[in-house]
Amino acid sequence: METLEFMDISVVVNGTHVTRRVAARKHLVDFLRDDLGLTGSHLGCEHGACGACTVRVNGETVRGCLMLAVQADGAVVETVEGASDSGELAELQREFHERNAFQCGFCTPGMLLTAAELVAREPPPTREEIRLQLSGNYCRCTGYQSIVDAVEAVCRGRRLEKTA
Amino acid sequence: MPRTALRENGVKPDNGISVAHGAANYIGEPLPRANAVRLLAGRGRYVDDIRLPRMVHTAFVRSPHAHARIVAIDTSAAAAAPGVVRVITGAEVARLCRPYVGVLAHIKGMQSAPQYPLATDRARWQGEPVAMVVAETRAQAEDAAQLVDIEWEALAPVTDPETALDAATPVIHPDLGSNLCFERIVDSGGTDETFARAYKVVEASFLTARHTAVTLEPRSVLADFNPADRQLTVWLSTQVPYMMQWIIARHFALAETRVRVIAPDVGGGFGLKIHTYGEDLTTVAAAILLGRPVKFVADRLESFASDFHARGHRVKARMAFSREGDILAAEVDDLYGIGPYSGYPRGSANEGIQVANLVAAPYKQRIYRGRSRAVFQNKPMYGQYRAVGHPIACLTGEGLVDLAADELGMDPAEFRRRNYIPADAYPYRLVSGLTFEKLSQHEALEQLLAMMDYRRLRAEQAELRRRGIYRGIGLASFVESSNPSSATYGQGGASIASQEACTIKLAATGGITVAASVVEIGQGAEAIVAQIAATHMGVPIGEVKVVTGDTETTPYGGGNWGSRGTGIGGEAVLQAAKALRANVLSFVARLIESEASLLEIRDGNVVEVESGAVRMSLEEVARTAYFQTEHVPRDFQPELTVTRSYAQKTYAGVYTNGIQASYLELDPETGAVRLLKHWVVDDCGTIVNPLLVDEQIRGACVQGIGAALYEQCLYNADGQLVNGSLMDYLVPMAAEMPDIEVGHTSTPTATSELGAKGAGEAGTAGAAAAVMNALNDAMKPFGARLYTMPFTPERVLRALGKIGER
Amino acid sequence: MKAPAFVYVKPQSLNEVFDMLERCGDDAKVLAGGQSLIAALNMRLSAPRVLVDINGIAELAGIRVAGDGVRIGALTRHRALERSPEIARYLPLIHQAMPHVAHAPIRTRGSFGGSIAFADPAAELPACSLALGAEFVIGSKCGERRVAARDFFKGLYETDLRPGELLLAGEFAAIRPDYRSVFQELARRHGDYALVGLAAHARFEGGIYSDAALAFFGVGGAPVLAESAAAAIEGRPFSDETVVAAQSVLEQDLPTHEDLHASAGTRRHLARVLLGRVLRQLAQQRS
């Protein structure tokens, strides 16, 4: 059992297997941004309150600033870039775009990944539930309403698709 | 390009703008932002996303004391720490960077002491940067920062504006003689007599907390100095690249042409990023000293401690009115505490000036006395933040109006309607000397009352009250300055542009590149520019490329502040597009031996106006002018790159107006307030893109709601911030925010062809007042009133008499 | 806000964990979900020399129903508790509390054991454990011991955990027939730490309260069982009189506590209000 200040980790990030040596103290988002150049995940507070750092680990959203990179060893990580490139976020992106559900864009990656979990829910969330679930993502630019509208629209679209 | 028909706001695209007959008119279209799609894919490029070779990182050592003398600084341990490249102290920066003084010459009596980027002999607020550690990584810089050994001698801090001018209170800058930064007085005369004679007088003291902007992207700067050609490039999360270019050049004695400032993607501004920060200048100093790229990104804790703050006013106010319900006079006494220096280069006076100028401004009374004083304190620096002073003026005036209406037993909407400046009185000169070009207050009020179904809500409120459910309806009429002239800054000697400019060039394949001096910070400036340029040039919007935010590639301008981007920047774009269009048409007319008046540009083609027949595509025009000059008549030189600029010079500001309403439910047992709905009717003249304007207004309202219910910087007696994290400084989140319905009236300004007025700050100007009035309306059955913000459950419970002092 | 340097170790067994803790003493901190610890590290409020990551200890995870009891392993994630049908069925108090615990991404990593061991005064799970009379299983080199929740939470961030010890699990009795649970908290915003909260568990049979456990949190350094208030409703039906009787003695049960969000008077008032609402909900809840 070694005590290490630096550790080799092996992670699948956006579908690609990567191996890197990281400082134990480096958190997951700094690893993604600094070591892998994936700057889509942002840092707004580094104490878990703002949601800008939200990424996906083993299929679930986490605060990337509250997880050490070494804890992601052996895990599957997905960032906004991966979820976007795969097309998974396409409906949400389209609704966000058409409804102007973003302005400066800094909260947007975290918002999208949080919203992606919401629209996958069964049964689909109500408008109030959407607001509750988005309440961990801080946005200073919009009034949140267009974001809620966009998520609602995707849920509605999926519901129509199912009944079609 | 998908177009959603989101035209609920009632603004018609055909709003009097003359466009080419048959050409696409994008003005008024709710188009999604074409150039922002990359932000949805996580492929934005903010300052912290930029990596440069040999780039180093920084952390600041900050004063733990609100006021203390620096006895000694020992940086030896820090300098020897792993990864550290250099440790820089105030003395070293002072040798490179001229100090600055945040006064404006046209604000009489304004005073402030010279300020350096890093504290030298004394620290004057908790969080003031004292030393900078430069290291290979930010983590190493923070490690080393903890090793900088500073011997402090704590001094008594000045922390209470109410006693800042007392004889017993230490003067922060003895050379200034007092802690008074400035005082503004507006006096029509006749106030005392009018109050003495009036039927009734209402009065209250309105207190707002100190706020901080909390942009989600913290302040960030990356400075790169190339010693070989003495070229400095600064990527800065800023709203004002040209201002910063001037400041950096001036204070570091660099040639302006060797300083390039670039605003990449900016993660929120709201006024925070228009000020001069010691950290930014120190980062520039470090880059010059080291000859390599130096980056500083503020973390959230230091943002709370060192971002410019705002608000924090105490306004004593009273209003006199007649038995019939006419406002006779108003009087206010405003006091607020800024930092130990007035901010540079804009000064910290504007908040107070707006308060003194604008309380009860929507109304027709001519007797008014207003005083505002800003005093120095040992707290963070202070300056302009969204809606600058207007929210305070609004809540003071609107709070008094509701009190007066209540005294008279008059409906608050009726009281306002009765007292608005008459619709035929414009242009209207206020007692404070400001002029309103033209407002649409009566129209906006009627539209608001219809939107919210005011009568039904009042009936619902009454019915629910009988069942022990307490809801409140609050109105707030507001005015908001936009399209400022040089009256704000230029006249005071500040090197801040009051004009905007735009260069449009025809590309070889027929599209256009539009370089504009406005700055994109998420509000959609680039989309606005594209829509205006495409419309007035006659090209499809997909053929427009917009360039902003770089002092090297865009024409000179003021950037993003004061709700000026669309009104001033947009007008420059319009004029440039028209000029280029005219040049193209006269060129083609010459080529085909016709008249320019018989031709038009539609959809990227030069066509005959009458028949619509295409004579030349813009691509052919470009090819002829650029490549086939043998076809161009000898005596003719087509100019297919055109620059135009525009400044608003008629008024100090082109004022907009609007009205907001809040509907909320009070839980009198817990003091909790639940916002049910919010409405806004805003008049910003010509709207270029309602999709963008409406969500801007919503976001601005939410900031005002934050002021009403949540946000406050809390200090202990030693002047230390005790709630400086996102756990304890509460910002509005999605679950508590209401849906906000937005409508518009439209009074285009005659000061420009575009007719657009600003809309970015309007929401913040009135939202807190609307919530305040709604809360007091809800508390009416209890005989309780509350005018101290934020309205925490504790304050509400105390107002309701449910809890004592302890 | 970058964490200070530390060395990291990830033991593969409990014995290795105990070895490490013994060896490092105060220099080590246990890393479970990390949602509180890593925030503290980022803010440099804490600077341990060694971080002992226990996330690899499989036996610490899992919800086990056995007999009339439920054992929640220390590493059980909040998300698992939130989604667990067993928790919903056998420990409805915890099921009601989980949506109030921060936000979903934090619940992904946050752990039961972390919440109990960190013992934030405004946290939900310590209060639920107190109300349900849970027993905590604590392990060390010397073996296991059990501590009742009422003896475990001692003060502000202070628990009965001794150096070298690790919380292994919480053991709960499954809800019995005729018993009801109600969880309510008052917070400024959804997901915030509570201003005041109440985790209540009582028998309500034939319209009569009995055996009530009223665990208030956010009212002081540690969650508190309001025993005078419980006594005041013992054997009584739901009525205005009963509620007032309980509210009037509540002050005796609660410490005086104030912070930058609320004064002591406000907290006492809110606790009284909450008590009334929870008592009503206990009475009106459909089983």
Q: What is the mean pLDDT of each run of 10 residues along chain B (806 residues)?
A: 35 51 85 95 98 98 98 98 98 98 95 98 98 98 98 98 97 97 97 98 98 98 96 98 98 97 98 98 98 98 97 98 98 98 96 96 97 98 97 98 98 98 97 96 98 98 98 98 96 95 97 97 96 97 97 96 95 98 98 96 96 96 97 96 98 97 98 98 97 97 98 97 97 98 98 97 98 98 98 97 78
Q: Assess whether A35 and A59 both reside in one domain.
A: yes
Instruction: Give the model's pLDDT for residue B13.
Output: 44
User: Using a CB-CB distance cutoff of 8 angstroms, which residues of chain C are in contact with residue B137?
Assistant: 2
Q: Shortest CB distance from C260 goes to which of B714, B733, B802?
A: B714
Percent helix, strand and coil across chain C, each to the nearest 5: 40, 30, 35
Q: Shortest CB distance from A103 goes to which of B213, B214, B699?
A: B699
Q: Is residue A144 part of a domain?
A: yes
Q: Is B727 helix (H, G, I), strand (E, B) or coil?
A: coil
The CA distance from A44 to the nearest CA of chain B, in Å, is 5
Angle, in degrees to the nearest 10, between helices B390-408 and B412-419: 110
Q: Assess whether A67 and A42 both reside in one domain.
A: yes
Q: Write out pLDDT tens, residues A82-103.
A: 999 999 999 999 999 999 999 9
Question: Which of residues 73 through 132 in chain A touch B, CB cutoff 8 A?
Answer: 79-81, 84-85, 89, 93-94, 96-109, 112, 131-132
Q: Assess whether A14 and A27 both reside in one domain.
A: yes
Q: Assess whether A20 and A66 both reside in one domain.
A: yes
Q: Is B393 helix (H, G, I), strand (E, B) or coil?
A: helix
Asked whether this complex has an ipTM greater than 0.85, the answer is: yes
Nearest CA in chain A to C101: A136
Q: Is residue A40 part of a domain?
A: yes
Question: Which of residues 145 through 204 in chain B touch A, CB cutoff 8 A?
Answer: none
- pLDDT over threshold 80, residue C59: yes
Q: Assess whether A94 and A114 both reside in one domain.
A: yes
Cα-based angle B450, B454, B455 (whole degrees, multiple of 5): 115
B793, B668 Cβ separation under 8 angstroms:
no
Q: Pairing mode, if any, of strands B294-297 and B56-62?
A: parallel
Q: Which of B757, B568, B735, B729 is nearest to B655 (CA)?
A: B757
Mutate to test the interface with B, among A86, A100, A102 (most CBs of B within 10 A): A100
User: Using a CB-CB distance cutoff of 8 angstroms, which residues of chain B are in contact with residue C263?
Assistant: 794, 803, 806
B797 and C1: CB-CB below 8 Å? no
Cα-based angle B56, B550, B53 (whole degrees, multiple of 5): 25
Q: What is the sign, positive or negative, of the torsion defined by CA atoms of A26, A29, A34, A37?
A: positive
Instruction: Give the model's pLDDT for residue A73.
Output: 97
Which amino acid is present at C144?
E
For chain A, what is the domain count? 2
Both tokens of residue C14? 């409990």
User: Using a CB-CB distance cutoff of 8 angstroms, which residues of chain A are in contact with residue B215?
Assistant: 104, 106, 140
Q: Which of C110, C115, C5, C92 is nearest to C51 (CA)?
A: C5
What's the start-to-end Cα distance of chain B, in Å? 61
Number of H helices, E strands in chain A: 6, 5
CATH number, domain containing residue A99: 1.10.150.120
A1 and C104: CB-CB below 8 Å? no
B214 and A142: CB-CB below 8 Å? no
B218 and A44: CB-CB below 8 Å? yes
User: Using a CB-CB distance cutoff of 8 angstroms, which residues of chain C are in contact with residue B802?
Assistant: 269
Q: Assess whether A78 and A15 both reside in one domain.
A: yes
Q: Assess whether A111 and A159 both reside in one domain.
A: yes
Q: Write out pLDDT tens, residues C179-235.
A: 999 999 999 999 999 999 999 999 999 999 999 999 999 999 999 999 999 999 999
Nearest CA in chain A to B5: A98
Instruction: Give the model's pLDDT for residue B10.
Output: 36
A140 and B300: CB-CB below 8 Å? no
Instruction: Give the model's pLDDT for residue B214.
Output: 98
- Would you place residue A162 in the very low, low, confident or very high pLDDT band (cuts 50, 70, 90)? confident
**Last residue of some domain: A83, A111, A139?**
A83
The CA distance from C146 to the nearest CA of chain A, in Å, is 29
Q: Which residue has the tokens 């309980």?
A: C246
Q: Give the range of the structural domain holding residue A158, as residue numbers without chain letter.
A: 87-163
Q: Assess whether A14 and A76 both reside in one domain.
A: yes
Q: Assess whether A79 and A127 both reside in one domain.
A: no
User: Using a CB-CB distance cutoff of 8 angstroms, which residues of chain A are in contact with residue C109?
Assistant: 62-63, 66-67
Q: Is residue A1 part of a domain?
A: no
Q: Which residues contact B104 (CB under 8 A, 6 or more apart)?
A: B110, B346, B347, B349, B489, B492, B493, B494
Whole-Å CA distances, A46 to A43, A60, A102, B645, C44: 6, 19, 22, 43, 11
Average pLDDT of span C106-128: 97
Nearest CA in chain A to C48: A25
Chains contacting chain A through 3 or more C-beta pairs under 8 A: B, C
Q: What is the sign, positive or negative, of the torsion defined by CA atoms of B667, B671, B672, B674?
A: positive
C148, C43 Cβ separation under 8 angstroms:
no
* Mean pLDDT for all residues in chain A: 96
How many CA atoms are closer than 13 Å to the CA of B618, on its beta-carbon side? Answer: 27
Number of H helices, E strands in chain B: 19, 30
Q: Which residues contact C101 (CB under 8 A, 6 or more apart)?
A: C78, C82, C107, C110, C115, C123, C124, C125
Instruction: Give the model's pLDDT for residue A158.
Output: 87
Count of C-beta atoms within a 10 Å radius of residue C65: 15
Name the phi and psi angles at A151, rounded to 5: -65, -40
CATH number, domain containing residue A28: 3.10.20.30
Q: Is residue A103 part of a domain?
A: yes
C9 and A54: CB-CB below 8 Å? no
Q: Assess whether A93 and A31 both reside in one domain.
A: no
Cα-based angle B14, B17, B20 (whole degrees, multiple of 5): 95
Name the phi and psi angles at C6, rounded to 5: -150, 165
The CA distance from B320 to the nearest CA of chain C, in Å, is 36
**Last residue of some domain: A59, A83, A107?**
A83
Name the phi and psi angles at B554, rounded to 5: -125, 160
Instruction: Give the model's pLDDT for residue B805.
Output: 60
A4 and C50: CB-CB below 8 Å? no
C13 touches chain B (CB under 8 A): no
Average pLDDT of span A67-76: 98
Q: Assess whether A45 and A59 both reside in one domain.
A: yes
Q: Which of B203, B180, B474, B193 is nearest to B359 (CA)?
A: B203
- pLDDT over threshold 90, residue C103: yes
The CA distance from C109 to the nearest CA of chain A, in Å, is 7
B505, B513 Cβ separation under 8 angstroms:
yes
Mutate to test the interface with C, among B675, B794, B802 (most CBs of C within 10 A): B794
A100 and B33: CB-CB below 8 Å? yes
C-alpha R_g of chain B: 28
Measured distance CA(B376)–CA(B629) in Å, rounded:
65
Q: Which residues contact C143 (CB under 8 A, 6 or more apart)?
A: none
- pLDDT over threshold 90, residue C287: no
Q: Which of B201, B209, B160, B161 is nearest to B787 (CA)?
A: B209
Instruction: Give the model's pLDDT for residue B378.
Output: 98
Instruction: Give the model's pLDDT for residue B20.
Output: 59
Q: Which of B60, B279, B67 is nearest to B152 (CA)?
A: B67
- pLDDT over threshold 90, residue A159: no
C34 and A68: CB-CB below 8 Å? yes
Count of C-beta atoms within a 10 Å radius of residue B423: 12
Q: Is residue A13 part of a domain?
A: yes
Q: Is residue A100 part of a domain?
A: yes
Instruction: Give the model's pLDDT for residue B21.
Output: 59
Q: Which of B310, B93, B320 is nearest to B208 (CA)?
A: B310
Instruction: Give the model's pLDDT for residue B6.
Output: 34
Question: Which of residues 25 through 54 in chain B touch A, CB cutoff 8 A?
Answer: 32-33, 36-37, 39-46, 48-49, 51
Q: Assess whether A124 and A142 both reside in one domain.
A: yes
* Mean pLDDT for all residues in chain C: 96
Which stretches does DSSP call E strand in B273-312?
294-297, 309-311
Instruction: Give the model's pLDDT for residue A163.
Output: 78
**Last residue of some domain: A47, A62, A83?**
A83
Helical (H) or strand (E) element with B204: strand B200-207
B143 and C266: CB-CB below 8 Å? no
Measured distance CA(C118)–CA(C45) in Å, rounded:
14
